[in-house]
Every structure is written in structure tokens, then in C-alpha cells.
Amino acid sequence: MTDPKQLISEMHQATCYENLPVSGEKLKESYPVYFDSVLDESKLIQLPDLKDFEPENNNFVDNLLKRRSLRRYDTNTVMSQAELSYLLMLTQGVREIDQKRELTYRFVPSAGSRHPFVTYLLIQNVEGLQAGIYHYVAQLHAIEPFDLSPKAIEKAYQATLRQKQVITSAVSFFWSAEVYRTSWRYSSRAYRYIHLDAGHVCQNLYLAAESIDYGVCAIAAFDDHLANEIFGLDEQERFVVYIASVGKKTDQ
């Protein structure tokens, strides 16, 4: 068996600047698609406008101090669509579109403003929404059904290695990377940046959730192949990077 330290060293060296292949940008390859695709416009569910939404706790320092990974949730509390809208907006919502430069500006940092992620949601306890898997269309701030079958829910649970907080959460976030959005500019170093970007997104989820009295548990231990199979990802240009469960805090 290969020494893990050796593998890490090899990956590190391969993504050092002096060892990078020429990027797609320098080779004048086609520009990445920077909007999320829509599977079926007729099934889009527009999320609530947040103009009048007020989180319970707007104290930033207080939220930082209280932030913890929580695996136990109040399963009797139904997340409102406004709360879901709030969490999605502050994690991958589009703040501004620069059509001239073909970029989106969001509420999280991303290398070169490439924002490589597509957000899928395992929804189980959200007001007015059937349980199942949904796809977030960031530029429209809307969601659409992806797979609402009980089998899909079970597969998502299996993909997280049957971690209990996933099945008791109101919603779990699955972030997949569209690799070319980042590798077009940064070549193979994109593999580093994608995982850094994922950390930024998940931290925003923690802090946004904390402000409305929800708990989050970030999940990096998952069955890559099964997770990618659920969303039809090829594991080369597209793959799941990070997962997080979200549920109402409980005193128990």
C-alpha cells in the first residue's frame, strides 16, 4: 500500500506552480459556463424574497463564539422556505452578475471569482416541499426537483456512510464542483482552490445557520462514488466535494 504521506507529497508537488500544465485560458479554450443549468423550467420553485427577512441573531461576534458542529436536531421543527432561502443566498446566492467578464459575485470568496459549485439539497423537513433531492439554480434563486423518490433519499443517506444527522436534518447540502470553471484559469492547481472554496461556503452556512438558531455538521467522510452516482457526475469534470447537514437546535 502506498504511504499516505507520499501521496500527499506527490499531489502537492504536482500542483506547484512550476509543474502546472498550460491552462485552458492561455490555450484560448472555450470559456466556462458560469450559470447553473436548469433541468426543467416548468418545475422551478422560486424561493422567497429576503428583503424583509430578519435573522434572530445579527451579532456577528456572538455567532462566531457560538458556532459548533451539531449532530442532534429538533425533528419536530419545520424549516420555513424563507429560512432555506436565506441559507442558500448566503452560501451560493448570486449577488451580482458581470456579463461583460462572464462572472458572478456571491457572498463567499472564490479563486478568480470562478464559483465552481452546484448545490444539491436533500430536503426532508421544509415547509411546503416534498421530501427528496432538489437542485439550486443560483442565478435565479430558485430550486427544482431532482429526484423525489424514497430511493433517492436512502441513497443520499448511504452516501454519507449512514451518518444519523443526515436522516434527522431538515435539509442537507451537497456541493459538487464543476472543475472546468476553475481549471480553465488555474490548470491543475484548481484542485487546491476548489477545496479552499468549499471551506468558505460551508463556513458561511455555519454562521448563517447560527443566526437563525439552526445547527450544522460539515461532512467530508462520504462514499465518493455513490454520491457522484446520485447526481450523475462523471468524477472527472464533476464530483461532490463537501456535504453539510442542517437542523433546528435542540436542548436535549
Please list, in sequence order, all residues whose beta carbon lies within 8 angstroms of the beta carbon of residue 78, skipping any fewer than 6 positions away.
125, 126, 127, 170
pLDDT at residue 252 greater than cutoff 70: no
How much is the average pLDDT of 85-92?
98
How much is the average pLDDT of 49-75?
95
Confidence at residue 2, expressed as pLDDT on a 0 to 100 scale: 76
Alpha carbon 120 to its chain centroid, in Å, reads: 7
How much is the average pLDDT of 132-150?
97
pLDDT at residue 126 greater than cutoff 70: yes
pLDDT at residue 1 greater than cutoff 90: no
**127/47 Cα distance (integer angstroms):** 12
pLDDT at residue 140 greater than cutoff 80: yes
- Reported pTM: 0.96
Confidence of residue 102 (pLDDT cuts 50, 70, 90): confident
| 171-178 and 238-248 beta bridge pairing | antiparallel
Domain 4-248: CATH superfamily is: NADH Oxidase (3.40.109.10)
Q: Looking at this protein, which amino acid is placed at residue 112?
A: G
pLDDT at residue 163 greater than cutoff 90: yes
The whole-chain average pLDDT of the chain stands at 95
Cβ-in-10-Å burial (0-12, 13-18, 19+) of 145 comes to middle
Please list, in sequence order, all residues whose beta carbon lies within 8 angstroms of the beta carbon of residue 127, skipping any fewer than 6 positions away.
78, 79, 80, 81
How much is the average pLDDT of 72-99?
96
Q: How much of the chain, in percent, has pLDDT values that exceed 70?
A: 99
Confidence of residue 219 (pLDDT cuts 50, 70, 90): very high
How much is the average pLDDT of 39-44?
93
**154/225 Cα distance (integer angstroms):** 15
